[in-house]
Structure 1
Amino acid sequence: MSDDQEEVRLTLRLPAGLRDRLTWEASTSGRSLNGEMVYRLEKSLVDADQAEPAERVAELWQRIEKLEGDVEFFQNHFEMDLRRLEARFVDQQVELRILRDKD
Protein backbone atom coordinates (compact mmCIF):
# COMPACT_ATOMS: atom_id res chain seq x y z
CA MET A 1 0.00 0.00 0.00
CA SER A 2 1.42 3.40 -0.91
CA ASP A 3 1.99 6.08 1.76
CA ASP A 4 -0.55 8.48 0.26
CA GLN A 5 -3.49 6.06 0.52
CA GLU A 6 -5.85 6.53 3.42
CA GLU A 7 -6.17 3.49 5.64
CA VAL A 8 -9.57 2.26 6.70
CA ARG A 9 -10.33 0.04 9.66
CA LEU A 10 -12.37 -2.98 8.76
CA THR A 11 -13.93 -5.67 10.91
CA LEU A 12 -13.78 -8.92 9.02
CA ARG A 13 -15.16 -12.36 9.82
CA LEU A 14 -13.17 -15.27 8.44
CA PRO A 15 -13.44 -19.01 8.86
CA ALA A 16 -10.92 -20.07 11.50
CA GLY A 17 -9.11 -22.34 9.04
CA LEU A 18 -8.61 -19.49 6.60
CA ARG A 19 -7.32 -17.21 9.35
CA ASP A 20 -4.90 -19.93 10.44
CA ARG A 21 -3.66 -20.42 6.90
CA LEU A 22 -3.22 -16.66 6.36
CA THR A 23 -1.38 -16.41 9.68
CA TRP A 24 0.98 -19.22 8.64
CA GLU A 25 1.52 -17.67 5.17
CA ALA A 26 2.18 -14.29 6.79
CA SER A 27 4.79 -15.74 9.11
CA THR A 28 6.60 -17.54 6.27
CA SER A 29 6.61 -14.40 4.10
CA GLY A 30 7.71 -12.09 6.91
CA ARG A 31 4.52 -10.05 6.85
CA SER A 32 1.93 -9.33 9.51
CA LEU A 33 -1.48 -10.94 9.15
CA ASN A 34 -2.86 -7.59 7.99
CA GLY A 35 0.06 -7.14 5.58
CA GLU A 36 -0.49 -10.62 4.15
CA MET A 37 -4.19 -9.95 3.62
CA VAL A 38 -3.53 -6.59 1.93
CA TYR A 39 -0.78 -8.15 -0.22
CA ARG A 40 -3.05 -10.99 -1.36
CA LEU A 41 -6.01 -8.71 -2.06
CA GLU A 42 -3.88 -6.32 -4.11
CA LYS A 43 -2.28 -9.25 -5.98
CA SER A 44 -5.67 -10.77 -6.79
CA LEU A 45 -6.85 -7.45 -8.24
CA VAL A 46 -3.71 -7.05 -10.36
CA ASP A 47 -4.00 -10.66 -11.56
CA ALA A 48 -7.67 -10.08 -12.40
CA ASP A 49 -6.82 -6.91 -14.32
CA GLN A 50 -4.16 -8.75 -16.33
CA ALA A 51 -6.32 -11.80 -16.96
CA GLU A 52 -9.43 -9.81 -17.83
CA PRO A 53 -8.39 -8.79 -21.38
CA ALA A 54 -7.40 -12.36 -22.29
CA GLU A 55 -10.64 -13.73 -20.84
CA ARG A 56 -12.61 -11.06 -22.69
CA VAL A 57 -10.90 -11.92 -25.99
CA ALA A 58 -11.66 -15.63 -25.47
CA GLU A 59 -15.28 -14.78 -24.66
CA LEU A 60 -15.58 -12.62 -27.76
CA TRP A 61 -14.14 -15.39 -29.97
CA GLN A 62 -16.73 -17.80 -28.56
CA ARG A 63 -19.49 -15.33 -29.32
CA ILE A 64 -18.16 -14.79 -32.84
CA GLU A 65 -18.09 -18.54 -33.47
CA LYS A 66 -21.67 -18.86 -32.21
CA LEU A 67 -22.81 -15.96 -34.36
CA GLU A 68 -21.11 -17.49 -37.40
CA GLY A 69 -23.03 -20.69 -36.75
CA ASP A 70 -26.27 -18.73 -36.35
CA VAL A 71 -25.64 -16.84 -39.59
CA GLU A 72 -24.98 -20.10 -41.45
CA PHE A 73 -28.14 -21.67 -39.99
CA PHE A 74 -30.34 -18.73 -40.95
CA GLN A 75 -28.68 -18.41 -44.34
CA ASN A 76 -29.42 -22.08 -45.08
CA HIS A 77 -33.04 -21.68 -43.98
CA PHE A 78 -33.40 -18.47 -45.97
CA GLU A 79 -32.06 -20.19 -49.07
CA MET A 80 -34.46 -23.13 -48.60
CA ASP A 81 -37.40 -20.75 -48.10
CA LEU A 82 -36.36 -18.79 -51.19
CA ARG A 83 -36.22 -21.97 -53.28
CA ARG A 84 -39.69 -22.97 -52.02
CA LEU A 85 -41.09 -19.55 -52.89
CA GLU A 86 -39.49 -19.67 -56.33
CA ALA A 87 -41.00 -23.12 -56.91
CA ARG A 88 -44.45 -21.90 -55.80
CA PHE A 89 -44.12 -18.90 -58.09
CA VAL A 90 -43.27 -21.15 -61.05
CA ASP A 91 -46.20 -23.47 -60.16
CA GLN A 92 -48.57 -20.49 -60.05
CA GLN A 93 -47.29 -19.24 -63.39
CA VAL A 94 -47.93 -22.67 -64.89
CA GLU A 95 -51.43 -22.77 -63.40
CA LEU A 96 -52.12 -19.29 -64.74
CA ARG A 97 -51.00 -20.33 -68.24
CA ILE A 98 -53.20 -23.44 -68.07
CA LEU A 99 -56.19 -21.33 -67.03
CA ARG A 100 -55.52 -18.83 -69.82
CA ASP A 101 -55.19 -21.63 -72.37
CA LYS A 102 -58.60 -23.07 -71.31
CA ASP A 103 -60.34 -19.76 -72.00
Structure 2
Amino acid sequence: MSPKQPTEKELLKQVLEPLLDDFQYWFERSLNLLESEKLPFFSEEEQAEFAEKVKAAQQEVNTAKMLFRATEGEVGIESKMLLPWHNLVAQCWDVARMWRQFQEKA
Protein backbone atom coordinates (compact mmCIF):
# COMPACT_ATOMS: atom_id res chain seq x y z
CA MET A 1 0.00 0.00 0.00
CA SER A 2 1.44 3.38 -0.99
CA PRO A 3 1.59 6.17 1.58
CA LYS A 4 -1.27 8.64 1.48
CA GLN A 5 -0.35 11.93 -0.19
CA PRO A 6 -1.18 14.99 1.90
CA THR A 7 -4.04 17.15 0.75
CA GLU A 8 -3.33 20.70 -0.35
CA LYS A 9 -4.73 21.94 2.96
CA GLU A 10 -2.49 19.58 4.94
CA LEU A 11 0.52 20.58 2.88
CA LEU A 12 -0.18 24.28 3.43
CA LYS A 13 -0.43 23.69 7.16
CA GLN A 14 2.79 21.65 7.22
CA VAL A 15 4.80 24.16 5.19
CA LEU A 16 3.22 27.59 5.44
CA GLU A 17 2.45 27.73 9.13
CA PRO A 18 6.04 26.97 10.26
CA LEU A 19 7.37 29.38 7.63
CA LEU A 20 5.18 32.18 8.99
CA ASP A 21 6.35 31.30 12.51
CA ASP A 22 9.96 31.57 11.34
CA PHE A 23 9.32 34.98 9.81
CA GLN A 24 7.75 36.15 13.05
CA TYR A 25 10.68 34.82 15.09
CA TRP A 26 13.38 36.49 12.99
CA PHE A 27 11.52 39.78 12.67
CA GLU A 28 10.94 39.91 16.44
CA ARG A 29 14.56 39.06 17.17
CA SER A 30 15.81 41.70 14.73
CA LEU A 31 13.46 44.33 16.05
CA ASN A 32 14.69 43.68 19.59
CA LEU A 33 18.26 44.28 18.42
CA LEU A 34 17.35 47.38 16.43
CA GLU A 35 15.44 48.92 19.33
CA SER A 36 17.90 48.04 22.09
CA GLU A 37 21.31 48.82 20.54
CA LYS A 38 22.95 51.61 18.60
CA LEU A 39 24.37 49.81 15.60
CA PRO A 40 27.53 51.62 14.47
CA PHE A 41 27.21 50.53 10.84
CA PHE A 42 23.86 52.35 10.53
CA SER A 43 23.13 56.03 10.87
CA GLU A 44 20.32 56.73 13.33
CA GLU A 45 18.01 57.38 10.40
CA GLU A 46 18.99 54.17 8.60
CA GLN A 47 18.49 52.12 11.76
CA ALA A 48 15.07 53.69 12.37
CA GLU A 49 14.05 53.10 8.75
CA PHE A 50 15.16 49.47 8.87
CA ALA A 51 13.26 48.99 12.14
CA GLU A 52 10.12 50.43 10.50
CA LYS A 53 10.58 48.09 7.54
CA VAL A 54 10.79 45.12 9.92
CA LYS A 55 7.72 46.31 11.86
CA ALA A 56 5.71 46.63 8.64
CA ALA A 57 6.71 43.13 7.53
CA GLN A 58 5.90 41.84 10.99
CA GLN A 59 2.38 43.28 10.73
CA GLU A 60 1.95 41.76 7.26
CA VAL A 61 3.02 38.33 8.51
CA ASN A 62 0.73 38.61 11.53
CA THR A 63 -2.19 39.49 9.25
CA ALA A 64 -1.40 36.62 6.89
CA LYS A 65 -1.18 34.22 9.82
CA MET A 66 -4.52 35.41 11.23
CA LEU A 67 -6.19 34.96 7.83
CA PHE A 68 -4.63 31.53 7.45
CA ARG A 69 -5.97 30.48 10.84
CA ALA A 70 -9.36 32.15 10.34
CA THR A 71 -9.87 30.15 7.14
CA GLU A 72 -8.60 27.00 8.87
CA GLY A 73 -5.79 26.67 6.39
CA GLU A 74 -7.97 26.99 3.30
CA VAL A 75 -6.14 30.06 2.03
CA GLY A 76 -2.47 30.20 1.12
CA ILE A 77 -0.20 33.11 0.43
CA GLU A 78 1.10 34.09 -2.97
CA SER A 79 4.81 33.55 -3.40
CA LYS A 80 5.20 37.18 -4.44
CA MET A 81 4.34 38.05 -0.82
CA LEU A 82 6.73 35.50 0.67
CA LEU A 83 9.77 36.58 -1.32
CA PRO A 84 10.07 40.10 0.18
CA TRP A 85 9.74 38.63 3.68
CA HIS A 86 12.40 36.06 2.89
CA ASN A 87 14.70 38.79 1.53
CA LEU A 88 14.11 40.91 4.63
CA VAL A 89 14.97 37.97 6.89
CA ALA A 90 18.24 37.59 4.96
CA GLN A 91 18.92 41.30 5.56
CA CYS A 92 18.16 40.80 9.26
CA TRP A 93 20.66 37.94 9.37
CA ASP A 94 23.26 40.23 7.77
CA VAL A 95 22.63 42.90 10.40
CA ALA A 96 23.00 40.32 13.18
CA ARG A 97 26.24 39.04 11.62
CA MET A 98 27.67 42.55 11.35
CA TRP A 99 26.67 43.25 14.97
CA ARG A 100 28.44 40.08 16.17
CA GLN A 101 31.56 41.01 14.19
CA PHE A 102 31.52 44.51 15.67
CA GLN A 103 31.20 43.12 19.19
CA GLU A 104 34.09 40.70 18.64
CA LYS A 105 36.35 43.61 17.63
CA ALA A 106 35.29 45.80 20.56
Whether these two folds match at TM > 0.5 is: no
Bigger relative CO (Cα 8 Å, ≥ 6 apart): 2
TM-score (norm 2): 0.29
Q: TM-score, normalised by structure 1?
A: 0.30
